[in-house]
């Protein structure tokens, strides 16, 4: 067994109940401590966050520095080059947006590359699965589809969508999906995105030493780059994944570590790109590999997802899910994982040591992500099963020679997930009249107060899942319909809030709508790249009418209460630039009381965009989001309608009581 990684006395031991509200993860943290294995929670407890970095008051963009300013006296000092706190913070923020946007857009471009190779018949293991989606995406950007073959439409769609990345001038294709008034605002401020490569390059250039030194101008390019992600790279990733692998529709799925099976060969896929997982599904259904697993003494092969990889196939194929980002090390402590295979994004380097401690092969598969100490088996779309069969063989071998004691927390929640924006329309309007009109009508009549997107990561600096779950409970209790993606969705799935029965936790108006339609009050839309589905849903709400002319008019708000990644910052910025009030928790990489802070938190809204918000704690965040939703209702003249509905409900309850 493992070398002792926790040295006991020198390291802080914080009660496990302070780390997480996930029972399975808590059990595994306790076990890890007994086994002498260190996890992200212990590392966070023993790594004080750098206060200067947390305030974004430092710059290392050139060798005259690094320069440190004082956040307590932000205008008391400048960098060696004369850079002010606003320049330094906005450049740091810009580089987070650029890195986060690059991650999503590179993922999207990879999906588009695969699409091209499939159309040309060069990759034969994948095919176009959803031709209805192919046609609807093509039509949405003005491609004529009548009388054309699937291949002809696909070829045209490919060449149009390639512009999402490479276009040097002009507007990207999905700008056609943006409500006209929102687009007008973007045009006025010259932030309609060109290709993502151009925008990211521009942002990296202007955040170099001695280029853009006005925080307002830097913010403009942050918005343009982030929009190139949300309405570009990410949206292409989602739409092409749907075309290739199928558009999700609701399915009941098991979540939590109890999905591991002691008597099976357990294989976990963790990361983000669906192509690896799709091939892994093929491999675990290969009869020769199933026979090999049985010959090794297992009852079969058990494929399980984690993080956003898990969410990609969770919805499409009903593959069970073991947990979110902060559980990726903890799940290895069960001793039951016979292989963990990873591709890109949110793969902690700490996994290597933990996997080693429990003799689990940790297998990297992507050219962009090798990890020192992990095994690498290259994944190639030309022959994907060469990699995934190999992973299964390694897992069977580990099962046969298991030495680690197996201890699986017996927790499983069953929830309904897979609410693509298409399915929400169908669910509310029926197959012949699929529409967002019933949603808008219920917002207008006040049964639904508004819509919130609660998304994003978990972060060991916050008690895992706690803010996600408490925030969502508070929102639905106040009749706010919640849309979810990413690790947040997994937190709510574990907490049992993604079932239609969870409607009993909703306020009277939302409860009535959920019960009528048979839907949960919390709708899971997929991985973090699928936040683009929320943008499309919101645009549809504007198009249907009655809730204003631009995205900024809608009674909606967004939140990433336990975020950690640069991708989350980029997502936040594209929601803000699209017109959505977006609240982050944990920490915000900006010094308060500065001009840049005021710009992000107040002035952007005055220009017709959304704005940023920040609060720690579920109740405080909920208060901000609900107040914003009410402000938008009031501006739309809907405040009275809601008062009437709530009075009707109260009256009805009073009548029930009297009876
Ligand atoms: Fe310091 Fe300016 Fe160089 Fe940044 S760019 S390290 S503030 S001198
Ligand atoms: S995986 S970016 S921790 S949502 Fe998409 Fe989860 Fe955040 Fe990674």
CATH assignment of the domain containing 276: 3.40.50.2030
Domain identity same for 351 and 392:
yes
Q: Which two structure tokens, joined as six digits, stand for 656?
A: 């029930």
In a domain, 15, yes or no: no
Closest residue by Cα to atom 2, ligand 1, is: 81
Residue 458 maps to a domain: yes
456: phi > 0 → left, psi -120 to 50 → alpha, else beta; which? left
Q: Which ligand lies nearest to the CA atom of residue 490 in the structure?
A: 2
Instruction: Please check whether residues 264 and 317 belong to one and the same domain.
Output: yes
Q: Are residues 519 and 442 in the same domain?
A: yes
204 belongs to a structural domain: yes
User: Do 396 and 423 fall into the same domain?
Assistant: no
Domain end residue (candidates: 331, 366, 400): 400
Whole domain around residue 500: which residue ranges? 416-635
Which of 74, 88, 213 most suits a substitution to test ligand 1, by most atoms within 8 Å of the C-beta? Answer: 88
| 169 and 306 assigned to the same domain | no
447 belongs to a structural domain: yes
Per-run averaged pLDDT (10 residues), the chain, 659 residues: 44 85 98 96 93 94 96 96 98 98 96 97 95 96 96 97 96 97 98 98 98 98 98 97 94 96 98 94 97 98 95 90 97 98 97 98 97 97 96 98 96 92 80 78 95 97 97 98 96 96 96 92 94 95 95 98 97 98 94 97 98 97 98 93 61 47
End-of-domain residue from the set 400, 429, 444: 400
How far apart CA 326 and CA 595 sit, in angstroms, is: 35
Which pLDDT score is estimated for 655?
Answer: 43
Contacts of 388 (CB under 8 A, 6+ apart): 276, 279, 280, 282, 283, 341, 379
Residues 206, 343, single domain; the answer is no
Residue 126 CA to ligand 2 centre (angstroms) = 26
Coil, strand, or helix at residue 362? strand
> Are 266 and 324 contained in the same domain?
yes
- Helix H, strand E, coil C: the string for 463-497 is CECHHHHHHHHHHHHCCEEEEEEHHHHHHHHHCCC
534 and 588 together in one domain: yes
Which atom of ligand 2 has the smallest separation from the CA of 527?
5
Residue 28: inside a domain, yes or no?
no
What pLDDT was estimated at residue 424? 85
Q: 325 C-alpha to center of ligand 2: Å?
A: 6
Q: Is the CB of 419 under 6 A from ligand 2?
A: no
Residue with CA at minimum distance from ligand 2 atom 3: 457
Specify whether 127 is located in the same domain as 241.
Answer: yes
Ligand nearest to the CA of 62: 1
| Contact status, residue 426 vs residue 419, Cβ threshold 8 Å | no
Q: Which of 209, 224, 245 is the C-terminal boundary of a domain? A: 245
Residue 5 forms part of a structural domain: no
**Residue with CA at minimum distance from ligand 2 atom 8:** 346
Same domain as 129, residue 92: yes
Closest-lying ligand 1 atom to the alpha carbon of residue 66? 6
Cβ(528) – ligand 2 distance below 6 Å: yes
Q: Which residue's CA is the closest to the ligand 1 atom numbered 7? A: 79
Ligand 2 in reach of 560 Cβ (< 6 A): no
Ligand 1 atom nearest the C-alpha of 88 is: 7
- Decide whether any atom of ligand 2 lies within 6 Å of the 487 Cβ: yes
Measured in angstroms, how far is the CA atom of residue 586 from the centroid of ligand 1?
27
Q: How many domains would you assign to the chain?
A: 3
- 341 and 203 share a domain? no
On whether residue 207 sits in a domain, the answer given is: yes
pLDDT of residue 486: 95
Q: Using the mean position of ligand 2's atoms as its centre, give its distance from the Cα of residue 529 in Å.
A: 9
452 has which bridge partners? 482, 557
Question: Which residues have C-beta atoms less than 6 Å from ligand 1?
Answer: 59-62, 64-67, 79-81, 83, 88, 209
Cβ of 346 closer than 6 Å to ligand 2, yes or no, is yes
| Strand runs labelled E in 100-174 | none
CATH number of the domain bearing residue 229 = 1.20.1270.30
CA 588–ligand 1 middle distance (angstroms): 22
pLDDT (0 to 100) of residue 8: 46
Q: Is residue 34 part of a domain?
A: no
Q: Which ligand is nearest to the CA of 310?
A: 2
CB of residue 100 inside a 6 A radius of ligand 2: no
Give dist(CA 335, CA 338) in Å, integer.
8
Nearest to residue 547, comparing CAs of 452, 455, 623, 638? 638
Residue 72: per-residue pLDDT: 93
Q: Which of 65, 69, 74 to mutate to test the pocket of ligand 1 (most atoms within 8 A of CB)?
A: 65
Rg (CA), the chain: 24
Tokens of 75: 């205008």
83 vs 31: CA distance, rounded Å: 49
Per DSSP, helices labelled H in 142-284 are 150-166, 180-188, 196-206, 215-228, 234-245, 274-284
- Is residue 520 domain-shared with residue 629, that is, in the same domain? yes
């Amino acid at each position: 067994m493992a070398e002792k990684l926790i040295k006991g006395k020198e390291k802080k031991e914080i009660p496990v109940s302070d780390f997480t509200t996930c029972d399975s993860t808590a059990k595994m943290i306790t076990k890890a401590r007994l086994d002498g294995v260190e996890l992200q929670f212990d590392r966070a407890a023993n790594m004080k966050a750098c206060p200067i970095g947390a305030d974004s008051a430092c710059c290392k963009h050139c060798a005259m520095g690094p320069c440190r300013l004082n956040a307590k006296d932000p205008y008391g000092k400048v960098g060696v080059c004369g850079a002010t706190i606003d320049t330094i913070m906005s450049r740091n923020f810009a580089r987070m947006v650029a890195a986060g946007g690059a991650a999503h857009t590179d993922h999207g471009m990879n999906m588009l590359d695969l699409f091209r190779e499939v159309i040309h018949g060069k990759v034969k293991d994948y095919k176009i699965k959803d031709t209805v989606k192919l046609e609807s995406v093509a039509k949405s950007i003005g491609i004529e589809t009548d009388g054309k073959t699937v291949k002809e439409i696909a070829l045209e769609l490919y060449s149009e969508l390639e512009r999402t990345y490479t276009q040097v001038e002009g507007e990207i294709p999905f700008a056609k999906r943006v409500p006209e008034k929102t687009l007008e605002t973007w045009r006025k401020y010259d932030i309609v995105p060109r290709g993502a490569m151009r925008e990211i390059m521009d942002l990296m250039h202007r955040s170099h030493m001695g280029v853009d030194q006005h925080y307002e101008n830097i913010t403009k390019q942050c918005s343009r780059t982030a929009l190139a992600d949300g309405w570009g790279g990410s949206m292409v990733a989602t739409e092409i994944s749907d075309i290739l692998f199928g558009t999700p529709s609701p399915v009941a799925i098991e979540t939590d570590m109890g999905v591991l099976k002691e008597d099976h060969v357990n294989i976990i896929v963790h990361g983000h790109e669906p192509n690896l997982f799709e091939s892994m599904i093929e491999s675990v259904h290969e009869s020769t590999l199933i026979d090999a697993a049985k010959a090794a003494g297992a009852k079969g092969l058990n494929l399980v997802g984690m993080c956003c990889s898990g969410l990609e196939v969770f919805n499409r194929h009903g593959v069970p899910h073991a947990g979110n980002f902060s559980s990726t090390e903890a799940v290895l402590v069960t001793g039951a994982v016979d292989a963990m295979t990873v591709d890109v994004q949110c793969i902690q380097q700490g996994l290597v040591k933990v996997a080693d401690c429990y003799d689990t092969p940790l297998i990297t598969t992507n050219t962009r992500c090798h990890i020192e100490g992990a095994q690498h088996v290259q994944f190639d779309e030309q022959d994907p099963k060469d990699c995934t069969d190999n992973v299964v063989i390694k897992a069977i071998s580990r099962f046969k020679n298991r030495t680690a004691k197996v201890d699986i927390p017996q927790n499983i929640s069953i929830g309904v997930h897979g609410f693509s924006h298409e399915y929400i329309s169908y669910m509310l309007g029926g197959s012949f009249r699929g529409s967002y009109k019933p949603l808008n009508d219920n917002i207008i009549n006040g049964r639904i107060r508004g819509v919130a997107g609660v998304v994003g990561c978990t972060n060991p600096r916050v008690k895992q899942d706690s803010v996600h779950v408490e925030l969502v409970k508070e929102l639905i209790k106040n009749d706010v319909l919640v849309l979810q993606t990413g690790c947040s969705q997994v937190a709510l799935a574990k907490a049992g809030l993604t079932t239609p029965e969870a409607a009993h936790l909703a306020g009277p108006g939302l409860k009535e709508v959920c019960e009528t339609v048979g839907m949960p009050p919390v709708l899971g839309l997929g991985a973090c790249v699928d936040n683009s589905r929320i943008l499309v849903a919101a645009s549809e709400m504007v198009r249907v009418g009655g809730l204003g002319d631009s995205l900024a008019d809608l009674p909606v708000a967004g939140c990433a209460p336990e975020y950690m990644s640069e991708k989350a910052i980029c997502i936040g910025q594209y929601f803000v630039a699209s017109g959505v009030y977006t609240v982050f928790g944990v920490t915000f990489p900006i010094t308060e009381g500065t001009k840049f802070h005021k710009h992000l938190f107040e002035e952007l809204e005055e220009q017709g965009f959304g704005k940023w918000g920040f609060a720690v704690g579920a109740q405080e965040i909920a208060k901000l989001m609900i107040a914003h939703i009410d402000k938008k209702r009031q501006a739309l003249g809907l405040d009275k309608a809601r008062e009437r509905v709530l009075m009707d409900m109260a009256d009805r309850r009073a009548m029930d009581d009297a009876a």
